[in-house]
Each structure stands twice: as structure tokens, then as C-alpha cells.
Amino acid sequence: MRWDNLRLAGDGTGDQALPLFARGAITRTFDTPEFRGITFYEIHARSIINRVPGASRVPFEWTINPYRGCSHACVYCFARKTHEYLDLDAGRDFDSKIVVKVNAPDLVRRELAAPKWTGAPIAMGTNVDCYQRAEGRYRLMPGIIAALRDAANPFSILTKGSLILRDLDLLVEASQVTEVSTAVSAGFLDDDAWRAVEPGTPNPRKRLEVCATLNEHGVRCGVLMAPILPYLTDSPALLSATVRRIAEAGAVHVTPIVLHLRPGAREWFMAWLSREHPRLVPRYLELYGRGAYAPKAYQERIGRQVAELARQHGVGRATPREARRIRPPDTPQHPSEQWPQPASEPVSARGPERAQERASEHTPDQRYAHRSGRPAAETRRPPAPEQLTLL
């Protein structure tokens, strides 16, 4: 098993008989509703500031990940595969067996003070969410942010969690001495889709309120509009409604990311899809049959739509309070931009036949104009943080 940079904490008195974990780990469960069914494994990491493999291909080189596994339980999460490095599975274990690096704040402070450290920007939330529910119990982020502030070291945070507002004062202080950027991840505003595919997260509308609050306090915050789910959350109406609310939150930017299905995430997501929307499985196999990414033409269409909607609604041009007063009417979609036409009913609708009928109204050329080559290799734009699998 891969515990190369970890040292198990404690004297073993709290151990449970877990064959996949070395004896000596402190394991804890808490009998409260928000933690029911979740087991925490408290360990001492040997290092905490990690260099990103292949950093020349991504917009950052260094990361901090105080947790492994994530109680957000997003069915599409790209990081699921990393749990297998701990001899745990990428499905239920990823959602419910959370590794906590309890010494993370002290390690950050020590490593930032090391003579070899050059003060490079550090990204957080690129693997699993550092503001998942465990953070409410373990409170690792205040110490981490304080260490970065005291070192005047630039950093960024990506999160789906509203708990980041607990540390607002620290973020404001840090932004006064170094470059601080934040982003919330919100791919859609459909409540049924949210409950179905992101069951452990705050409501997407709450995340946009977080974005507004951060910007109102001078902490720059954008939105990673991810993931956009083909045939489920990619209708023109839903895209428009989502971008409009993003603009109203005063987001400094919006970056759309279409769902990608890497090993680990692919199996878990497709199992969910086969249960909830079995008639959409062939469509997804056609979209993702050549690799982890949807066809380039589909990704580009979504990118064009979101870019135009961002222009219409004024993303990045107004403060949150101003944006709430600027509500331009939705512009009708031109027919040429409606390929492929998605299903429009909520994700929770247990009538996949209707989704299939809507999708089948279009010719094969309209549905999938691009069929050749490996989409992942053809899409050369710099990947956003949620596209990366980091250890």
C-alpha cells in the first residue's frame, strides 16, 4: 500500500480491525448526523507541499491537500482513482473513509520557512475539497491560511463548500500581503441534478452566495462551471440561467468544463447512470467511447455558448450588488447552436425514455459531428483545476 509520505499517528489504542490499513492509525467515527457513516483516519504526513507531476501542462506547480477522500460524494469526481493508492476502493470508500493529515498546518509553516522554498504559488482544492465536512471538525485550513499569510506566499483555493466563509477574515488579511484567488465550483443550478450527483455538497445557489461574499470583501472569486453533464444539465435554458446567476454573484470569471470520465470516476458514474437513466447509457458510451473526454466539437460548442452568455450577462464587469440590478433578458438560442439538443427534464425524473426521445429527434450528424481521434489529445487548452488528478 502507498503510505510513502505518511506516518500513522497514535499508539494503536483507537484502531479498528481494518485489513486494508496498517495497524496504528487512529480511526474515529462521530455520532452526529453530518458525520454518520463516515470514518476518519488521522495520520501525520511527512510532507504537505506537493509538486504536481507534469507541471508544465497545468497552470500551477505546487499543491496542498490536507485530506484524502471526500464526503461531497460527487458521483463524477475525477479524484476517485487516488483512493486506490491507499488500498481502498474508488466508490463508497472514497465517499466515507476520509484520511485527515492532522499535522498539516505545522508542516505548511515549516516547509514555507525552509531555505529551499522559493515562494511559488500554491493551489488548494485541486484534488479533493479542503472545505468538505471534515474541515468543520478538524479545522486545518485556518492554520494553513495563516501560515501562507505570514509567509506572504501566493495561493488559490477551489471549493464547493460554504465553510470557506468561516475563514473570511484570514483570507482578507492574506489578500492584503500576497496574491489570493478563489473559485467555487458550480456546474448547474438544477436542484434535482444537485441532489442526484452531488449529494454531500451545499446547494449550488449557496456556493454562488459564497462567491458574492468573497468578492464583496475584496477576495477575488470566480466560478468553475463544472461539470456540465451531457443530456442532463447542458440545455440552453439551464446554461443561461446558471451563467446569469454567476454574473449576479459578481464572479470575476467563469470557466466551463464538460464532464470527463477518467478511470475510477468512469465506473462509478456509469453505474449511477445505468441505475438512474439507463436509456442514456448508449449516448454516453458514444460520447466517451474513445477516452475520458467528450468530443472536441461538443466541448467547443459548450464553450462558445457559455462565453456568449457570460458576455450577455456581464460576468466580470460588475460587483455582486451591481450585478443583481443588471438582469438582461435571455437571448433566444440560434438553431445552429442547438447541436446536440440535450434532454431538458431534471436529473431526478425517473423517465429516461423521455430523455432518449428528445435526444433521438436529431440526426447522427447533428448529434455527433466529430467522431475521429482521441478528444483528450485534441483538446489543448490549459486544464482547469478540476480536470487534474493529483496525489
Q: What is the pLDDT of residues 377-386, one digit of tens each?
A: 333 333 333 3
- Indicate whether 5 belongs to any domain: no
Tens-place pLDDT, residues 291-320:
999 999 999 999 999 999 999 999 987 655
Question: Does residue 374 lie in a domain region?
Answer: yes
Q: How confident is the model at residue 24 (pLDDT cuts 50, 70, 90)?
A: low
More confident residue, 45 or 386: 45
Q: Which residues contact 161 (CB under 8 A, 6 or more apart)?
A: 72, 129, 131, 132, 135, 201, 202
Q: Is residue 241 part of a domain?
A: yes
Q: What is the domain range of residue 361?
A: 186-198+217-380
Cell of 348: 431526478
Residue 117 lies inside a defined structural domain of this protein: no
Q: What is the mean pLDDT of residues 362-371?
A: 31
Identify the helix (H) or strand (E) that includes residue 99.
strand 97-101
pLDDT of residue 328: 40
Let me know: does 370 contact 240? Beta carbons within 8 Å.
no
307: nearest Cα among 367, 366, 248, 240: 240
Q: What does the pLDDT read at residue 351? A: 36
Whether residue 57 is contained in a domain is answered as: no
pTM (two decimals): 0.78
- The number of domains in the chain is 1
* List of residues 6+ apart from 251 with CB closer than 8 A: 208, 211, 215, 221, 222, 223, 315, 316
Predicted confidence (pLDDT) per residue in 142-167, tens digit: 999 999 999 999 999 999 999 999 99
Banded model confidence at residue 60, pLDDT cuts 50, 70, 90:
confident
Strand partners, 293: 260
Comparing 125-129, 214-218, 274-278, which segment has the lowest mean pLDDT?
Answer: 125-129
HSE toward the beta carbon, residue 71, CA cutoff 13 A: 24
Identify which of 1-10, 216-225, 310-319 has the greatest average pLDDT. Answer: 216-225
Q: Is residue 81 part of a domain?
A: no
Residue 111: how many other CB atoms lie within 10 Å: 17
DSSP reduced 3-state for 6: strand
CA distance 30 to 238: 38
Listing DSSP states for 28-65 in one string gives E---SGGGTT-EEEEEEES--EEEPTTGGGSS-SEEE-
Q: Which residues pair with 135 in a beta bridge?
A: none
Quickly list DSSP for 186-244.
Answer: -----HHHHHHH-TTS--HHHHHHHHHHHHHTT--EEEEEEEEPTTTT--HHHHHHHHH
4 is a domain residue: no
- Inside any domain, residue 386: no
Amino acid at 238: L
